[in-house]
Chains A and B, each alone.
Chain A
Amino acid sequence: SAVISQKPSRDICQRGTSLTIQCQVDSQVTMMFWYRQQPGQSLTLIATANQGSEATYESGFVIDKFPISRPNLTFSTLTVSNMSPEDSSIYLCSAGWDGGSSYNEQFFGPGTRLTVL
C-alpha cells in the first residue's frame, strides 16, 4: 500500500484566483490520478498524472482549467485555475502501480476541500 498526503487540507478562495494542490506519496508509484468529489457524492476522475509528459484528461476536463504536474514518481500537483463557485468540491489524489498483481488498486489521499466564494 501507499500513504498519501495532500496540502492544503482545505481552503477558501475568491473567484478568479487559482489554487495549487500538492500530493505526496511515501513510496515510488507508477500511477497517480486526480479525482473530484462533490460533498456526499461519488468520485469523478479528472486526469491521469503522467511522469515526464502531459497529463491525460477525461472528457469534460481541460488542461487550461486543471493543469497538472508530475515531476517524479512520488509527487504531483493539480491547479484549479480561474476558480468559480462551481469549482467548490473535494479534490482527491490517488496512487497505484501498473502491472503485476496491483489490479488497478488505488490508494487515496485525505482530500482537499475547496470552497470558492
Chain B
Amino acid sequence: TQLLEQSPQFLSIQEGENLTVYCNSSSVFSSLQWYRQEPGEGPVLLVTVVTGGEVKKLKRLTFQFGDARKDSSLHITAAQPGDTGLYLCAGAIGGGADGLTFGKGTHLIIQP
C-alpha cells in the first residue's frame, strides 16, 4: 500500500495553462516536502510545509498543506516549458531523524 498517493502520474498540457498536483495520505505527517527532479539529476527541494493549512508560494508555484496534515497540493499558474520535470511529494511522519516516504511522482510536460 502506497503511503502517499500522488496524482496525476502523468500530465501533458500547453504552455500558459494552469495545473494542480495532489498528494494524499491517511497518515498524519510532521512535514511534507515537494521536490522537482530532472533526468540524470537528484531531486531538488522546492518547499517544506509544516503547519496544517499552510500556504507557500514560489513564483508561479503555490503549495498548500491540508488542515489535518494528511494531504498537500501543488498548483502551477501559467505553466512554462521550463516547468517540465518529475514532481515528487515526500513526507516524514516522525522527526528529523526519519527518512522520507515519497509519492510515485508526477511526470509533467509543458508543451510550447
- A residues whose Cβ falls under 8 Å from a Cβ of B: 1, 4, 30-31, 33, 35, 40-45, 47-48, 58, 92, 94, 96-99, 102-111, 113
Known: A42-B88, A104-B31, A104-B33. A31 touches B97 (CB 8 A): yes
- B residues whose Cβ falls under 8 Å from a Cβ of A: 30-31, 33, 35, 40-45, 48, 50, 86, 88, 90, 92, 95-105, 107
* Cβ–Cβ contact B48 & A108, under 8 A: no
Bound-state CA distance A33–B97 (Å) is 10
Q: Residue of B at shortest CB range from A43?
A: B102
Instruction: Report 27 cross-chain contacts, Cβ distance below 8 Å, ordered by A residue.
Output: A31-B96, A31-B97, A33-B100, A35-B99, A42-B88, A42-B102, A42-B103, A43-B43, A45-B99, A45-B100, A48-B97, A58-B99, A94-B42, A98-B95, A98-B96, A102-B96, A103-B96, A104-B33, A104-B48, A104-B92, A104-B100, A105-B45, A106-B45, A106-B100, A107-B45, A111-B40, A113-B40
Kindly provide the distance from the CB of A90 to the nearest chain B CB, expressed in whole angstroms: 9
List 18 extra interface pairs beyond A104-B95, A110-B41, CB under 8 A.
Answer: A33-B100, A35-B99, A40-B86, A41-B104, A42-B104, A47-B99, A58-B99, A99-B96, A103-B30, A103-B92, A103-B96, A104-B33, A105-B31, A106-B33, A107-B45, A108-B43, A111-B41, A113-B40
* Cβ–Cβ contact B42 & A4, under 8 A: yes
Q: Contacts of A45 on B, CB cut-off 8 Å?
A: 99-101
Bound-state CA distance A103–B97 (Å) is 10
Q: Contacts of A102 on B, CB cut-off 8 Å?
A: 96
By Cβ-Cβ distance, the 10 closest A-B pairs, closest first, are A108-B42, A98-B96, A104-B92, A45-B99, A103-B31, A43-B102, A42-B102, A42-B105, A33-B99, A42-B104
